[in-house]
């Protein structure tokens, strides 16, 4: 059973190895995807580094004559649109489920002060960058 489904049972967490392992797995998974929940300065630094890693992979794919993985082409990818997709599909559902399990103060810190603020900034950046031409995308994060 998935974490969210298991959480909906009245007995969660039980003192079982299965529940302990599920909580540990969620902790690791959440820590792996928590960067959009950090303060904006840290998040944007991480985002620039992450996107550069993807762009370098796309550069190699292009150089080798392969089809460039979607979102990895520095000349066509809007990094802010990429990030809003990542936030809405992966981070938001994950962190909502995780913080529902944690004390309320964690939800306020992670969701309200981190994720929601960064999501607003990313949406603002999407609006600002809608006028960028396809060859200017690589300069967006600078």
pTM here is 0.82
The 10s digit of each residue's pLDDT in 84-98 is 999 999 999 999 999
Phi-psi category of 22—alpha, beta or left, where left has phi over 0 and alpha has psi -120 to 50?
alpha
The 10s digit of each residue's pLDDT in 8-65 is 887 888 888 988 999 999 999 999 999 999 999 999 999 999 999 999 999 999 999 9
Judged on CB neighbours under 10 Å (0-12, 13-18, 19+), 114 is: buried
């Amino acid at each position: 059973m998935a974490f969210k489904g298991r959480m909906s049972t009245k007995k969660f967490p039980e003192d079982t190895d299965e529940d302990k392992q599920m909580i540990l797995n969620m902790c690791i998974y959440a820590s792996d995807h928590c960067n959009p929940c950090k303060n904006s300065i840290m998040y944007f630094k991480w985002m620039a580094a992450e996107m550069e890693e993807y762009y370098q992979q796309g550069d190699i794919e292009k150089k080798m004559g392969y089809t460039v993985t979607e979102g990895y082409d520095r000349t066509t990818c809007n990094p802010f649109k990429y990030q809003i997709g990542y936030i809405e599909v992966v981070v938001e559902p994950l962190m909502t489920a995780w913080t529902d399990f944690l004390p309320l103060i964690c939800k306020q810190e992670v969701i309200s002060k981190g994720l929601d603020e960064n999501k607003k900034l990313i949406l603002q950046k999407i609006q600002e960058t809608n006028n960028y031409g396809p060859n200017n995308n690589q300069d967006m994060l600078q």
